[in-house]
Each structure stands twice: as structure tokens, then as C-alpha cells.
Amino acid sequence: MRSFSERSSLGRKLSGRFVAGMSVEDALHACEAVNREGIAVSLDSLGESVTTESQARASAQIYHELLDAIQARGLNANVSAKLTQMGMDFDPTLAERIMDEIVAHAAAADSFVRVDMEGSELTEATLVMVESINARARGRVGAVLQSYLYRTEADAERMLGQGIRIRLCKGAYKEGPAVAFPEKSDVDANYLKLAKRMIASPVFCGMATHDEAIVKEICRFVKDQGIAKSAFEFQMLYGIRRDLQRKLAAQGFGVRVYIPFGTEWYPYFMRRLAERPANVFFLAKNFFKS
Ligand code: FDA
């Protein structure tokens, strides 16, 4: 069912709301359009949990193509990748070697690699790998932290202490109360607390959220504290709150849009639906309309 839906035209139609297309060229076109609005991009070749070295190497090859294109076309973009896409589940040494090569390529192309954060069983291993790669390619690799995890406050201090750039998000995986705040209000409060800590730090961090109340409070905080708008950036997902993306860019804030693409869109798409059940109705309505 999953591989049918990933490649079928029905699947393409459904995923089109959140995914820029199936090919590298589709993603580059979307990137150029977003850049024209004065908004930066992070390109994500969708895929996760590969099970063989050849799949991991094929995933990496797409990132090398993206970095070449970013450099050749002068795009305002970096890349985001998942470690399980590079073999982390079955051979962490392979995943680290592959990521080292991608980060070295990004450094040569004057770009940057963001290592997406996956489920909590991978948090520690992911952070250790980011630290290790950053020691070899300082400032060219960054981490993602999720405000739903209890451990994140300590992880934030750990990353900031090493000058590692952080993307702060709420977290998109299903986690239990042993590791994550069960109440959304606690996740949101933790987000704001950590966002303020990161923005006031000397490390350039990304505030990844579409939560308008949080965005407003961040803008107020920055103004009150006299912090430069260039000290951080907002980050949002392709296809979500374009109005807010444009408004913040027009106000002079840095905004980066995360553009996912590729045939392996199914898990990403399902996480977006789970975040907002109204999306299911929205998609169904528009699907039957057209
Ligand atoms: P929240 O879920 O509270 O939503 C606030 C408002 O945003 C909603 O009321 C709605 O208006 C809008 N909104 C949010 N989600 C929507 C959706 N799916 N469709 C339509 N509208 C929506 N997670 C992770 O675990 N690891 C990672 O590496 C990343 N990376 C990442 C990068 C970037 C750039 C972003 C923006 C997000 C991520 N995430 C992520 C996902 C993140 O953890 C989180 O699940 C989503 O951003 C939704 O949370 P919000 O902060 O937007 O708030």
C-alpha cells in the first residue's frame, strides 16, 4: 500500500500540499520561487530508515547533487538530512562516514547541513554524532532539539556550549510520558523558554514553528531586549502558513522554509496530517473538488 501510494498519481496529488515534487529539479524550482520572495530554504530529500548500504549511498548521492546545484545556481539554501536515511539503524559508522562527506561538501559549497531529529530512541546517538562531525567541520553542521522532551533543556546547554547551531521545534514523533511532556501547554511553555535562551545566546539558532502566539512572543522578546533580528531566524514547513512566512520576511526577520521532496514522502506526510487532523478534511475536500 505504502509503495503504491508513494509512486501513484493519487499519492502525488495528496502529498502535493506539503511536498514540493518528486525530483531534485522540482525541489530546485520550488527553492528558486521561495528565494525570490526573500526567504531562505532548507532542502530535504525525503527518506528514512534505510536498510542497506546501497540505499544509504543512493540517499547521500542526492544530497551531493543538491549541494552542487545550490552552489552552481547561487541559491540561498542549505540541506536537512536524517541519520536513518544514511544507515544509522544498522551501521552508525557508515552513517557517520556518509554524513562527514556531505558536511565536507557543504563546507566547500559554503553551505550547511542540518541533521533532523527523529524518535527519542535516537536522540543521544544523533547529538553525539553531530558533536563529532562538528569537531571536524566547525559551524557546518547543526542539530535539532524538540521542546516536548524533558531532556531538551540540558541538551540545549550542551549544544550552545560547543557553539552548535540548533533548530528548535516542538517534536513530531509519538513519545510517551516517560520522556516527553504529555500536555501541549507544557510543550509550548518549554518551547518559549528555550527559544528565549537560544535567541539571547551568541549561537545563531532557528525557531521552527507555525505557532502564531509563540512567534508573537518571540518578536516582543527580541524587541524588548534590543536583540538584532539577524541574531536568529524563523523556520517553517513548505505549504504551511505562507502568509506568516511572508509577513515575517517583510518585517525584516530571517525566514527559512523547509522544502521536502522525493518519492519517499509517506511518513513525512502522515506526520503532517497527525499534527493537524483538520488537514485530513481539507485534503479530502480539495481532492474531491478537483
Ligand atoms: P502547533 O502544532 O502547535 O501548530 C501551531 C499552528 O501551526 C496550528 O494551529 C496551525 O495553524 C499550524 N500548523 C502546524 N502544523 C500544521 C500542519 N501540519 N498543517 C497545517 N497547519 C499546521 N520535528 C521533529 O521531530 N524533528 C525535526 O527535525 C523537525 N524539523 C522541523 C523543521 C521545521 C522547519 C519545522 C517548521 C518543523 C519541524 N519539525 C520537526 C516538526 C515540528 O516538531 C512540529 O511537529 C510542527 O512544526 C508543528 O508544530 P508547530 O510548532 O507548528 O505548532
What is the full DSSP assignment across 270-284?
HHHHHH-THHHHHHH
116 assigned to active site: yes
Phi, psi for 232 (deg, rounded to 5): -160, 180
Q: Which residues of the chain have pLDDT under 50?
A: 1-2, 4, 286-290
Angle formed at CA 180 by CA 176 and CA 181, multiple of 5 degrees: 110
* 257 Cα nearest atom in ligand 1: 34
Rounded to two decimals, the pTM is 0.94
What separation in Å is there between the alpha carbon of 261 and the centre of ligand 1? 17
* Contact (CB, 8 A) for 81 and 44: yes
* 272 Cα nearest atom in ligand 1: 18
68 assigned to active site: no
Return d(Cα 140, Cα 61) in angstroms, integer. 18
Q: Is the dihedral of CA 184, 182, 85, 108 positive or negative?
A: positive
What separation in Å is there between the alpha carbon of 274 and the centre of ligand 1? 10
Give the CA count within 13 Å in the CB-facing half-sphere of 21.
Answer: 10
Report yes or no for ipTM above 0.90. yes
Active-site residue among 114, 140, 165, 167?
167
CA dihedral 210, 211, 216, 218 (to 10 degrees): -80
Return d(Cα 171, Cα 155) in angstroms, integer. 14
Question: Which residue shows C-alpha cell 527559544?
Answer: 195
What separation in Å is there between the alpha carbon of 97 and the centre of ligand 1? 30
Return d(Cα 212, Cα 214) in angstroms, integer. 5
Binding residues for substrate: 82, 271-272
What's residue 4's pLDDT? 44
Return d(Cα 62, Cα 73) in angstroms, integer. 16
Instruction: Give pLDDT tens digits for 147-165.
Output: 999 999 999 999 999 999 9
What's residue 257's pLDDT? 98
Return d(Cα 262, Cα 231) in angstroms, integer. 32
Domain spans in the chain, listed from the N-terminal domain onward: 25-288
What separation in Å is there between the alpha carbon of 275 and the centre of ligand 1? 7
What separation in Å is there between the alpha carbon of 127 and the centre of ligand 1? 21
Pocket test for ligand 1, best of 19, 148, 170 (most atoms within 8 A of CB): 170
What lies within 8 Å, CB to CB, of 273 at 6+ separation is: 279, 280, 283
Q: Which is nearest to 167 in space by CA: 137, 138, 204, 119?
A: 204
Active-site residue among 44, 116, 155, 188?
116
* 208 Cα nearest atom in ligand 1: 36
Which residues in the chain belong to E strands, given as ranges?
40-45, 77-81, 113-115, 141-146, 166-169, 205-208, 232-237, 254-261
* Contact (CB, 8 A) for 59 and 101: no
What's residue 2's pLDDT? 47
* 80 Cα nearest atom in ligand 1: 28
What's residue 10's pLDDT? 59
Q: Is the dihedral of CA 104, 105, 109, 111 positive or negative?
A: negative
What's residue 73's pLDDT? 97
Topology (CATH) of 25-288: TIM Barrel (3.20.20)
Pocket of ligand 1 (CB under 6 A): 116-117, 144, 146, 169-173, 208-211, 235-237, 240-241, 258, 272, 275-276, 279
What's residue 16's pLDDT? 78
Phi, psi for 223 (deg, rounded to 5): -65, -50
Return d(Cα 34, Cα 28) in angstroms, integer. 10
What's residue 170's pLDDT? 98
